[in-house]
A and B are shown apart, each in its own frame.
Chain A
């Protein structure tokens, strides 16, 4: 957040309220979908997709990641990479089993 102009902020406030609305709608959507009792596979995909959209909204608008400094992006990118490495763990154990069978 660079400027502190009150007018700017008012514009932001409008965005915040719109994001709020979007989050509410998406929450209802996730719950509604879960009542369809889809295949586990699809259910996971959809639930994760919706959660990702919601999470991105929070991060981008509430946490102002839509315009942040480069340095923050770098450190988050690094974290994202290591996050991905962590996700190898479940894969690692199961890939072994698949290979052995």
Chain B
């Protein structure tokens, strides 16, 4: 069959194999697995670290949800472990609540989802998909992981310094973030600068790899959609992150060198005039922050869309509907994401001109999302759908992202945003996109590519339990948020709004939502067990267990380390999703198969 590349089995491979080994054994364990320059090891390092951060970010939220469900009541069992400074008598202090909130957002976005979606999946899968021996700059790749690691450590350490971690939200709006006396914010800024640097190194590497190392015959319109998603994502990271880096430096100056870039003249804190030069502008931070953070939300979603598209094509056993349209849509989406940032700032005193501009761009940007989602829905039509665990998660992504995306519309129209801004409606909106959306897509990806890494499939039964439980629980957390939000309940409330009269009719939901959150957590145990158990005990499978067409499946299982993915360079003859091609005996037609 495709003797070009199934190396381990082809006799021609034997020689090359020995060669790869000679290359390997000079490396000690540390260089092979810790300071590795191989994209697969780095991908795994990213994946594990990011999963741990996701779990940690979730744990922070599980604590917060206690306070929201049972305000001012001692946290059972672990309440006493949190320390006097955070939770005297097991009762969480508002400072601590704010720290947890800020760090939950930061960790989930910058240390969890992006490193998993880009650093993990992107690193492991993308070079295989394009038939490359490795990333273009292996050393930078390694540096990018370790810089990320340091950034993560800085963020974690900040919990243990006096005064605790940052507590001004993941958005860190000044003057609050600057005038808050504790050092957590300084740590946050330093951590962010590391994370940004890591992303810049990574994204540059990705772009060069995709442009330069595509194998023979793999021109741009034959790339799997996942690779396109990574490509556009990398551009977003490359060009949107630097402004936040600049803003971070400016805020660091404000914190450390007592400048006043973001502090206007005449600030009075606690009825004392602050001794600062003044003349700064708090809105400057918001502009620079959202200039990154809006593209950043698409950084969260695009790789997820990429993963979902791969899995849907594979499990419907038919080509994606409108492959080219998808690509044009994602490019347009990436481009437009740079001109909508101020829709997060409608309430800052915006005039009609700017307001109309940003509302319009926001509505425009929703169109490519509608197109992408429609194309994925249409892809199902006429398929022969296999309901395995990756597919279940991928399918769930569609309506969940749909709900999240649709609820972005009333937020994007400034008049309705007046009522909804900074309420739980916003929290509901974006969690639907990131949690049952992106997180589900990431789960789908883990179940899907697990056999490539380990040679074993994860347990289907446990996978389905994980799916059903998570799906129900996660909707139980986030759907009531829309109800609360429409009633006007604000976000970031330490007590969940018990003081406010308008919140009373919907307050009982808090307990329900928290229960759902803990249930969700319980179901993650199934996943964790499945994950670790399957590494050793999962069902053994061949290199292409899903009968897929893209190049990563033509490489051997857990391809050899040290820049050697394929024994011979694969050559590509067709598009990525040639499933059920009429007149063929098998229902899949790999990209590298001549005919």
- In the bound complex, do residue B287 and residue A99 qualify as a contact, i.e. CB atoms below 8 Å apart? no
A-B contact count (CB 8 A): 39
Q: Of residues 348 to 391 in B, which have CB atoms within 8 Å of A's CB atoms?
A: 349-354
- In the bound complex, do residue A95 and residue B354 qualify as a contact, i.e. CB atoms below 8 Å apart? yes
Question: Chain B nearest CB: distance from A85 CB in Å?
Answer: 5
- In the bound complex, do residue B353 and residue A95 qualify as a contact, i.e. CB atoms below 8 Å apart? yes
| Contact status of A96 and B354, CB under 8 A, knowing A71-B211, A85-B339, A89-B291 | yes
Give B342's nearest chain A residue, CB to CB.
A92
Question: At the interface, yes or no: B206 with Cβ under 8 Å from chain A?
Answer: no
> Number of residues in A with C-beta < 8 Å to the partner?
15
| Contact status of A96 and B239, CB under 8 A, knowing A85-B338, A85-B339 | no
Taken together as a complex, chains A and B put the C-alpha atoms of A78 and B352 apart, in Å, by: 28
- In the bound complex, do residue B351 and residue A99 qualify as a contact, i.e. CB atoms below 8 Å apart? yes
Chain A residues within 8 Å of B350, by CB: 96
Question: At the interface, yes or no: B156 with Cβ under 8 Å from chain A?
Answer: no
- In the bound complex, do residue A79 and residue B239 qualify as a contact, i.e. CB atoms below 8 Å apart? yes
Chain A residues within 8 Å of B240, by CB: 82
Chain B residues within 8 Å of A89, by CB: 284, 287-288, 291
| Contact status of A100 and B338, CB under 8 A, knowing A89-B291, A92-B354, A93-B281 | no
Given contacts A78-B239, A99-B353, A99-B354, 16 further A-B contacts (CB under 8 A): A78-B235, A79-B239, A82-B240, A82-B338, A86-B243, A89-B288, A92-B287, A93-B283, A93-B284, A95-B351, A95-B353, A96-B349, A96-B350, A96-B353, A99-B352, A100-B349
Chain A residues within 8 Å of B291, by CB: 85-86, 89
Chain B residues within 8 Å of A85, by CB: 291, 338-339
Q: Of residues 28 to 65 in A, which have CB atoms within 8 Å of B's CB atoms?
A: none
Question: Chain A nearest CB: distance from B407 CB in Å?
Answer: 26
Chain B residues within 8 Å of A97, by CB: 351
| Contact status of A100 and B351, CB under 8 A, knowing A85-B339, A86-B243 | yes
Give B358's nearest chain A residue, CB to CB.
A92
Residues 274-286 of chain B: 1 if any A CB is under 8 Å from the residue's CB, otherwise 0? 0000000101100
For the complex of A and B, the 3 pairs showing the least CB-CB separation, nearest first, are A99-B351, A96-B351, A89-B287
Taken together as a complex, chains A and B put the C-alpha atoms of A96 and B284 apart, in Å, by: 14
Question: Chain B nearest CB: distance from A65 CB in Å?
Answer: 19
Question: Chain B nearest CB: distance from A101 CB in Å?
Answer: 10
Give A96's nearest chain B residue, CB to CB.
B351
Question: Chain B nearest CB: distance from A89 CB in Å?
Answer: 4
Taken together as a complex, chains A and B put the C-alpha atoms of A89 and B235 apart, in Å, by: 21
29 A-B pairs with CB atoms under 8 Å apart are A71-B211, A78-B235, A78-B239, A79-B239, A82-B239, A82-B240, A82-B338, A85-B291, A86-B243, A86-B291, A89-B284, A89-B288, A89-B291, A92-B287, A92-B342, A93-B283, A93-B284, A93-B287, A95-B353, A95-B354, A96-B349, A96-B350, A96-B351, A97-B351, A99-B351, A99-B352, A99-B353, A99-B354, A100-B351
